[in-house]
Amino acid sequence: MSKSPDGTAASDTRDLEHRLDALQLLPSGAVRRTPNWWSGVWPPAVAVLLLLTIWQTYCAIAQPRPDLYPSVFDVASAIGANWDSGRLPAALLTSLTRGGLGFVYAIILGTIIGFLLVEVPLLRRAFGPIISGLQVLPSVAWVPAAILWFGLTDATVYFVILMGAVPSIANGLVDGIRQVPSHIRRVGVVLGAGPVALHRYVLFPAALPGYLAGLRQGWAFAWRSLMAAEIIATGGKLGFGLGSLLQQNRELADLPGVLATVLTILALGIVIEVGVFTPIQRRVLLRRGLTEAR
Amino acid sequence: MTDAITLTGVSKFFDPSRPVLDDMSLHVKQGQFICVVGVSGCGKSTLLNLIAGLETASMGSVDVPSGRASVMFQDPSLMPWLTARGNVELALRLRGVGRNERAAEAQRLLTLVNLADAGDKLPHQLSGGMKQRVALARALAQDREVLLMDEPFAALDAVTRDLLHDELERVWRETGRTIVFVTHNVREAARLGDRVILMTARGGKIAREWEIDVERPRLIESPAVSSLAGSVSSALRAELAKVSNV
């Protein structure tokens, strides 16, 4: 660039800069998800088929007692029978409703507690270790106490779900916000954000990956707690959930029915994991350039 | 012309026996581009933080009549979840600009830093130089008279930095901002500044000052800039030598 009149010089600079940008810009295609979802589906599908084949082959060759070691087809027909009798759909609906509603309560409570712990350092120092400790305590341990407090009502189930999920969600938010790089926070302050705006536009969005990880773990704990509570606490005013179905099939010594219920619970867990949490987390991380596209 | 920044007898210390800044006075005229150079730990970043209001002076007074300044750091610190446009719009939103005006204003600022068609890119898709230009657009979005820059181009490659010098000079002339630019790069200071201030290596004082009246736009390799950089550089080495003797 020569020392020409500055109009020309400036436009030269801008043109050069533009060319340099074009060289350095990552193509936006690099972060788009490849439309080839099939490559993510077939390996686990083959794995499941393989396991089912091994199971069925064993039953066909060894001919074990069908009441103790049912075959794949026995279990499949048990799923069909439980479905047709209306017990499985009813239990599914009850458990999903409870799990979903309990999880929503847990999100609200966990988020409020998380924000309090973030905002009040004394509170965090006092209650932080207790809440981390509660994460380690299996929330089934609360079932006997909950039955004594609330009786055989849905309140017992919700209480156990909350005890399972709230600590994970609160901890996820606390960790997420504490891991926000200090320069991001400083920029928020420099840009003139007040306390509320700083949280709303800077800290919470910045903490989202940690918060989502907490939600995911919270759901896993909530779902496990729910199943455990439904197995232990049955009868009374309690609705009939998947755990209750499991327990009822055991009492009927119906092993195909028990396994059918277990597989249903497992399948539901996978569907929610793969269908809800994985895509959300993936999108959030991809947007921030925190993970490579497959 | 009036002063955009006035420092009167400013001292800053965390430990009174070792002041970071000691009885420092400085007047920066409105629209002036002033560069502050010095070795690491000489207090130049502290000086910037004081003017920005991020720290308070232990003694003396810091006066920025136009109100708070906007700041740019070495790290562009873009919000990773927002696009380039989103980052600029965030600054506008926090300034209180209404939703309807934000998009147009953000586009104007992105055009100003030559990123008119990169508004929808996310930070991780941008090169270091582009991120720093988005950060510049964001700082300009605050619409404050004084712009403070803390080694904003230190992490960039030479080609990009060279282009950004031209870009910043043009933006400065178009917007008439008062700029305080902290750097450890003597050539950069001579290339950009109306004035260069050299800080003592320790003790937090102004060691020397140069007024530069080389015609703009300048070239970093021009003889005038080179010779000035040479004289600042030898003064800086002399400062460093004083510390090593202690």
Residue-wise pLDDT tens digits, B169-185: 999 999 999 999 999 89
Contact A288, B87 (CB under 8 A): no
In chain A, the number of structural domains is 1
- Nearest CB partner across the interface for B142, out of A24, A191, A205: A191
Q: Is residue A257 part of a domain?
A: yes
Q: Is residue A59 part of a domain?
A: no
- Nearest CB partner across the interface for A10, out of B71, B95, B170: B170
Higher per-residue confidence, B190 vs A10: B190
The domain of A140 spans 74-287
Q: Is residue A43 part of a domain?
A: no
- Binned at pLDDT 50, 70 and 90, residue B186 comes out as very high
CA-derived radius of gyration, chain B = 18
What percent of chain B shows pLDDT beyond 90? 64
Give the list of residues 6+ apart from residue B85 with CB closer than 8 angstroms, or none.
B103, B106, B107, B110, B119, B120
β-bridge mates for residue B7, sequence order: B26, B62
Q: What pLDDT is attached to residue B245? A: 58
How many other C-beta atoms can be found within 10 angstroms of the C-beta atom of residue A154? 18
Residue-wise pLDDT tens digits, B200-228: 988 888 999 999 988 888 888 889 999 99
Q: Which of A21, A184, A196, A287 to mutate to test the interface with B (most CBs of B within 10 A)?
A: A21
Cβ of A21 within 8 Å of Cβ of B219? The answer is no
Q: Is residue A126 part of a domain?
A: yes
Q: Is residue A138 part of a domain?
A: yes
CA gap B41, B20 in Å, rounded: 8
Q: Is residue A51 part of a domain?
A: no
Q: Nearest-CA distance from A69 to chain B in Å?
A: 52
B220 touches chain A (CB under 8 A): no
In B, residues 139-158, which contact A (CB 8 Å cutoff)?
142
Average pLDDT over residues B28-45: 91
CA angle at A86 for the pair A80 and A90, rounded to the nearest 5°: 115
Q: Nearest-CA distance from B196 to chain A in Å?
A: 23
Contact residues on chain B for A283, CB-CB shorter than 8 A: none
Residues of chain A under the 50 pLDDT cut: 1-7, 29-31, 293-294
Q: At what angle do helices A204-232 and A255-272 cross, to 10 degrees?
A: 170
- Binned at pLDDT 50, 70 and 90, residue B61 comes out as very high
In A, residues 187-246, which contact B (CB 8 Å cutoff)?
187, 189-193, 197, 201-202, 205-206, 208
Contact residues on chain A for B159, CB-CB shorter than 8 A: 20
ipTM over 0.85: no
Q: Can you tell me whether residue B242 is helix, strand or coil? A: helix
- Binned at pLDDT 50, 70 and 90, residue B36 comes out as very high
B216 touches chain A (CB under 8 A): yes
CA B191 to the chain's CA centroid: 13
Question: What is the amino acid identity at position A274?
Answer: V
Q: Is residue A19 part of a domain?
A: no
CA gap A153, A235 in Å, rounded: 9
Q: Is residue A97 part of a domain?
A: yes
Q: Please tell me the pTM assigned to this model.
A: 0.82
Residue-wise pLDDT tens digits, A71-129: 889 999 999 998 999 889 999 999 999 999 999 999 999 999 999 999 899 999 999 89
Q: Which two tokens stand for residue A74?
A: 């026995």
What is residue A142's DSSP assignment? G
Q: What is the CATH number of the domain that holds A202?
A: 1.10.3720.10
Contact residues on chain A for B125, CB-CB shorter than 8 A: 25-26, 28, 31, 289
CA angle at A105 for the pair A99 and A110, rounded to the nearest 5°: 115
